[in-house]
Amino acid sequence: MSKRWTARASLLVCLIAFTCACGQSSSGAGPTPTPDGTTRSYVSLAQSYHDKYVAARGDGYEACVVDLVPPDCHDRGVAMIVVWESFLKDLSSLRASPRFAADVKIIRNQLPIGIGDLKAMVAAAAAGDKTAMQNAANRYISDMVPTVTGALGDMYPPWRTE
């Protein structure tokens, strides 16, 4: 294959990937499509809450699952609950998006279960019950990964690694 053909093929692959990432068909003429306002709103929400969640979670895995430090686990759990409850509220304020409809349904169904797990974890941590704290933390992880993190990852890919 010639270098020119390889470069053109690479460019074509990139253009197709960009077009598909924007939720548009790769057919049709005209300028490269951009995400609509609703899509941008969902992506922006998922991105901003990713940053908030990462900050709130901090070393929560170590505190709640590995080292079992109830005061630290309690504080991380409380912070994560605040982020998730605020996220659900802000999610409800967005216009419906056909592109993310399935993801939003998953999030609205599953995230409250995860919040319940966090509340159980926080209560166990406050009581100093390391076994119950760890069990609730593991339920939280199981209820969130990959179900909710995958749905959020459709909006903002770094969620997939949480």
Domains of the chain: which residue ranges?
34-161
**pTM to 2 decimal places:** 0.77
Instruction: Give per-residue pLDDT as tens, 117-160.
Output: 999 999 999 999 999 999 999 999 999 999 999 999 999 999 99
Instruction: Give per-residue pLDDT as tens, 25-84.
Output: 333 444 444 567 889 999 999 999 999 999 999 999 999 999 999 999 999 999 999 999
- Whole-angstrom distance, CA of residue 131 vs CA of residue 64: 10
4 vs 119, more confident: 119
Helix (H/G/I), strand (E/B), else coil: 152: helix
* The token pair that represents 39 in the structure block: 């899509």
Judge whether 28 and 137 are in contact, CB under 8 Å.
no
Among candidates 39, 16, 36, which has minimal Cα distance to 26?
16
* The token pair that represents 3 in the structure block: 């270098």
